[in-house]
A and B are shown apart, each in its own frame.
Chain A
């Protein structure tokens, strides 16, 4: 079945440094949707960005990601972390008729 792997459970970095959260996936579907959701403390998850186009950079709120079907990856990046970026980030995949979420990566940005 479909699966999403987020290798880091916790990423801690200092404000101003670049962010990269890893996401790889497996699916037999040739045109999957890939998503990044963000969940701040005491809030519900909400969409950060999404893509289904191979090799096209998608950007939103300073974050960006590029779907690479050749490597089955959809890593989330930001050039300079802010304290307000501290949150739980989920990568998710829509392959066939349901969405599969990764286990999530907690990003902790320190002053």
Chain B
């Protein structure tokens, strides 16, 4: 088995601030994903990466940057936090296009 760790668990930011979320996995999966989930809503893909140093935009990439420095880690940056923004950011990993395993999420609140 393996585990996905996301840090921090909670993130409170100020409007206009640059915020970074981190994800680590020990499954040795090649593909990693970042999703955003607004309260009660579905998953929206922000970025994914099929290998180290690869980045692919999802449907919601505007306003975000991502970085895959090594196989086990995938970071997401909110480039300019929007006032009153509130969402959960979920990281996931998979072996190619097989089952995705999700982390516990980072809950973001922008004041």
Chain A residues packing against B (C-beta within 8 Å): 33, 35, 37, 44-47, 50, 88, 90, 92, 94-99, 101-104, 106
Q: Given A97-B50, A98-B48, A99-B97 in contact, is the A45-B43 Cβ separation under 8 Å?
A: yes
**Chain B positions within 8 Å of A37 at CB level:** 100
Query: Helix, strand, loop or mixed for chain B's interface?
Result: loop
Interchain CA distance A44-B52 in the complex, whole Å: 25
Interchain CA distance A88-B38 in the complex, whole Å: 13
Interchain CA distance A50-B101 in the complex, whole Å: 13
Interchain CA distance A28-B96 in the complex, whole Å: 18
Which residues in chain B, 2-52, are within 8 Å of chain A measured between CB atoms? 33, 40-43, 45, 48, 50
**Chain B positions within 8 Å of A96 at CB level:** 97
Residue of B nearest to A101 (CB): B43
B74 within 8 A of A: no
Total CB contacts across the A-B interface at under 8 A: 46
**Chain A positions within 8 Å of B56 at CB level:** 98
Ordered by A's residue number, 21 sampled pairs between the chains whose C-beta atoms are within 8 Å are: A33-B97, A33-B98, A35-B99, A44-B103, A45-B43, A45-B100, A46-B101, A90-B42, A90-B43, A94-B98, A97-B50, A97-B96, A98-B45, A98-B97, A99-B97, A99-B100, A101-B42, A101-B43, A102-B42, A104-B43, A106-B40
B90 touches A45 (CB 8 A): yes
Minimum Cβ distance to chain B for residue A107 (Å)? 14
**Chain A positions within 8 Å of B98 at CB level:** 33, 94
